[in-house]
Chains A and B, each alone.
Chain A
């Protein structure tokens, strides 16, 4: 097995152990109508959006970049999807026969596959925009994606005219709330993971991404189209964010430009960092480790909620975790620790 998996799995084990002590019956799983329910399943289900984000984010971070805009892209895609299913919500006055359609669970303006396709397309375009700024205009990834992070929520508001659109269409809600033995969103994660894994690890793309992250210039001179690789990574990240936006909005049955995906970029980045991909330097990555990192993040969030820590205050703890994990991986800190250790040994 990949040694990168060791640290995240250990972390996950620790947190689950902590949770099982905190929540009675934590590991118990019930079956209802042949479907599985339980706290553990809930953690995985709630982690599915972060898992989706972390897959795209892993590729971006592996190229030496970062994408801060994923949360905003989630909001944009949720707005697009909600509007396409029910544009009548925004109308000022409606004739009664249309008014009835607004909360009809069987009504959708566009067929579901069109909704999903267009939404994912829009999200991919957002990713391409980021990629273009990073790869071709040569803006630092952090600043380039910060632009969309800030403007993105404005755009999402603009799409829905500032209205929080409720989604009544039942088949759409299935994306986030559906259950087929396991939560449906987990199958989505599995599919995206499988496709990404095959296309990066069974082709040379994965190696190209790692090589661009380790040294973009050297990759360029060895014939890798470094810009196109970066563009691809950001586009995939946008696509994943769009999918995460669909899941999140289907889960709460609303498009909420202000709050969907708020601070999710933090969780996604953290998941990838826990998974051992080096933030800011790029290079080797492990998709599976990032997925486990995402579950770790969700488990942390769940247990913090169980302890009564307010949602926004979690940020502080996560911020500290980022620094800690980065320091754990950094050479400077390791050599500092080593020096401290030798000094202490020398002292007595």
Chain B
């Protein structure tokens, strides 16, 4: 009995990773649905598809590259560049269709260039594409330092048109469950790529090159051309993903999609495609993307977990899947070279390793699940359409600060951004009155006059009015705050701005900010 099972497993070993992923995706979804009633709403599932459509598009391209034995680290850079470039072009009044076309061409050109380096100049794929990523990401900041908003009808159609699901919606009222054009687009890419990989000559040559490049060349396959083409295709996918992302967040910025390449690679690996190339299925990538999407949704539904957990979990899942894969690969290698002797001992060691890795993986996933289930859910969880907390900084409301100073405030302090996208303005008056306004609420606090004097003395001491205190600005991260501080003291007035996490800002600026933060009241 066990022998038959073993032979069944051995014969279908290439499907094991695929099945494991599909199983894990279903299990994760059921687990979430069991834990959070909100997740049982089918719309949540459709939102996962919609929110991750750009990931799916990019991961499909990545699958083809990895099947051919390469890797493309440039996707995050190209995605970010596409968002910024398209936003800038749309802002300058270009035709929407032309912009999309131009972006796709740009992505393909970048991909083809990297492919050319890899295929003809024999640069290793990861170096060429790493340089490509740096180049693309750097170019973003030549176009714009700040986020550019997109208000174009085409992008709105792309992201907001609802395609109602028959059976789950009411066509007369246009209400009910829906998917978006982005979802349809991503599935289109998925199916075209899956069919092309399995049933076209080019698809088969990709598998051949990934399996053994030398043999592929000896068989007479056009290896360099095929390689350039696969990176070009991936460039196309990255650019398309970038357009979808730009439409989805309605803006473009050079820091978008950071760490995106790992998510795409993780989705591919979880989908059962071997990083060594030559084996795997494009369709598996869909399940890889689903696992990532569901993980993110679980973390959002939990509500008490920070968004950075997503990256940690993705890293962990990637590790588990790659480790299992590498152990499976070494088992295959052992079967091939069984005649080589000393097999018995090595076989038992390899089996022990497989079990260790599998057990570690199961324990890891189980511990994560247990801990997710136990950690308290904050306030019933966010709505079904919760998104990650990245937000754009608001511009400094200089006129507001000016009017506060006019009305007698000694200190006007504004901070905005942060994980919760706040925009708070505080004014500190000489009589010890502190007023805060965050747009929705106001808060007032009366402190002693002497503490205002100590505060001002402290600010002076840190050299506020010297040249050592200067404004700095760099593009903030999603979790960071922008700070603007105007101080009036002894007839002098000076405004200094800076962004959290600035290694460029003078250290004393942060001392001053912490002094001010120490005295102003909190909202809530």
Which residues of chain A have a CB within 8 Å of any CB of chain B? Answer: 66, 103, 133, 137-140, 142-144, 146-151, 153-155, 157-158, 162, 164, 166, 248, 251-254, 256, 258-260, 263, 266, 279-280, 310-320, 322-323, 326-327, 330, 332-333, 336
Contact of A323 among B128, B136, B316, B318 (CB under 8 A): B128
Contact of A157 among B141, B308, B504, B507 (CB under 8 A): B308
Nearest A residue to B315 via CB reads A151
Contact of A137 among B121, B255, B326 (CB under 8 A): B326
A146 to B258, CA, bound (A): 12
Contacts of B309 in A (CB 8 A): 154, 158
Interface string of B283-309 (1 = CB under 8 A from A): 000000000000000000000001011
- Report whether A153 and B261 are in contact in the complex, using a CB–CB cutoff of 8 Å: no
- Report whether B127 and A258 are in contact in the complex, using a CB–CB cutoff of 8 Å: no
- Report whether B261 and A323 are in contact in the complex, using a CB–CB cutoff of 8 Å: no
A280 to B133, CA, bound (A): 17
Q: Which of B448-496 contact A (CB under 8 A)?
A: 474-475, 477, 479-480
Contacts of A150 in B (CB 8 A): 259, 262, 311, 314-315
Nearest A residue to B507 via CB reads A253
Q: Would you call B371 an interface residue if the criterion is a C-beta within 8 Å of the partner chain's C-beta atoms?
A: no
Contacts of B502 in A (CB 8 A): 259
A327-B145 contact, Cβ under 8 Å, with A147-B262, A154-B315, A252-B507: no
Q: Main SS of the interface on chain B?
A: helix
Contacts of A256 in B (CB 8 A): 500-501, 503
Q: State how many angstroms separate the Cβ of B213 from the closest Cβ of chain A.
A: 16
- 22 contacts across the A-B interface (CB closer than 8 A): A137-B326, A140-B71, A143-B71, A150-B259, A151-B314, A151-B315, A154-B315, A157-B306, A158-B308, A258-B480, A280-B123, A312-B141, A312-B474, A313-B140, A313-B141, A313-B142, A316-B137, A316-B142, A318-B134, A320-B131, A320-B135, A332-B122
A164-B500 contact, Cβ under 8 Å, with A151-B312, A258-B477, A280-B126: yes
Contact of A147 among B121, B319, B326, B330 (CB under 8 A): B319
- Report whether B138 and A314 are in contact in the complex, using a CB–CB cutoff of 8 Å: yes
Contact of A148 among B315, B480, B514 (CB under 8 A): B315
- Contacts A147-B319, A320-B131 aside, 20 further interface pairs with beta carbons under 8 A come to A137-B323, A140-B275, A151-B312, A154-B308, A154-B311, A158-B312, A162-B419, A162-B479, A252-B507, A254-B510, A256-B500, A259-B502, A311-B474, A312-B137, A316-B134, A316-B141, A317-B138, A319-B133, A319-B136, A322-B130
A134 to B326, CA, bound (A): 11
Enumerate the 8 nearest inter-chain pairs by beta-carbon distance, A residue then B residue, closest first: A316-B138, A151-B315, A319-B134, A315-B138, A319-B135, A259-B501, A313-B141, A154-B311
Q: Would you call B124 an interface residue if the criterion is a C-beta within 8 Å of the partner chain's C-beta atoms?
A: yes
- Report whether B71 and A312 are in contact in the complex, using a CB–CB cutoff of 8 Å: no
A150 to B260, CA, bound (A): 9
A304 to B499, CA, bound (A): 21
- Report whether B479 and A316 are in contact in the complex, using a CB–CB cutoff of 8 Å: no
Q: State how many angstroms separate the Cβ of B367 from the closest Cβ of chain A.
A: 15
Contacts of B142 in A (CB 8 A): 310, 313, 316
Q: Main SS of the interface on chain A?
A: helix
A146-B312 contact, Cβ under 8 Å, with A253-B507, A330-B122: no
Contacts of B109 in A (CB 8 A): none
A139-B312 contact, Cβ under 8 Å, with A258-B477, A320-B135: no
A147 to B308, CA, bound (A): 14
A142-B315 contact, Cβ under 8 Å, with A154-B308, A313-B142: no
Contacts of B145 in A (CB 8 A): 310, 312
Nearest A residue to B143 via CB reads A313
Contact of B124 among A138, A157, A259, A280 (CB under 8 A): A280
Contacts of A162 in B (CB 8 A): 306, 308, 419, 479
Q: Would you call B20 an interface residue if the criterion is a C-beta within 8 Å of the partner chain's C-beta atoms?
A: no
Q: Would you call B34 an interface residue if the criterion is a C-beta within 8 Å of the partner chain's C-beta atoms?
A: no
Contact of B138 among A151, A248, A318, A327 (CB under 8 A): A318
Contacts of A157 in B (CB 8 A): 306, 308, 479
Q: Would you call B73 an interface residue if the criterion is a C-beta within 8 Å of the partner chain's C-beta atoms?
A: yes
Q: Which of B33-71 contact A (CB under 8 A)?
A: 71
Q: State how many angstroms separate the Cβ of B82 from the closest Cβ of chain A.
A: 15
Nearest A residue to B508 via CB reads A253
Nearest B residue to A167 via CB reads B507
A305 to B178, CA, bound (A): 49
Interface string of B417-453 (1 = CB under 8 A from A): 0010000000000000000000000000000000000
Contacts of A327 in B (CB 8 A): 121, 123
Tell me which of A162, A252, A253 has the highest count of chain B C-beta atoms within 10 A of its own C-beta. A252
Contacts of A164 in B (CB 8 A): 500-501
Q: State how many angstroms separate the Cβ of B258 from the closest Cβ of chain A.
A: 9
Contact of A139 among B133, B135, B322, B330 (CB under 8 A): B322
Contacts of B510 in A (CB 8 A): 166, 253-254
